[in-house]
């Protein structure tokens, strides 16, 4: 029913949020590794 759609939407939304956070953290980590003296 509609509950399945709601659960699927929540999982997709949470997954997207985790991916965005991981991407931003990965980019920040790579930049810090590239230029550790730049703050």
What is the pLDDT at residue 37? 65
Per-residue pLDDT tens for 1-39?
788 999 999 999 999 999 999 999 999 999 988 876 655
Cα end-to-end distance, the chain, whole Å: 52
Instruction: Report the distance separating Cα 29 and Cα 5, nearest Å.
Output: 36
Instruction: Report the distance separating Cα 38 and Cα 22, nearest Å.
Output: 22
**Which candidate, 5, 3, 24, places its Cα nearest to that of 13?**
5
What is the pLDDT at residue 39? 57
């Amino acid at each position: 029913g509609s509950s399945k759609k709601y659960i699927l939407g929540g999982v997709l939304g949470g997954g997207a949020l985790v991916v965005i956070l991981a991407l931003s953290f990965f980019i920040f980590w790579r930049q810090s590794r590239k230029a550790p003296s730049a703050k």
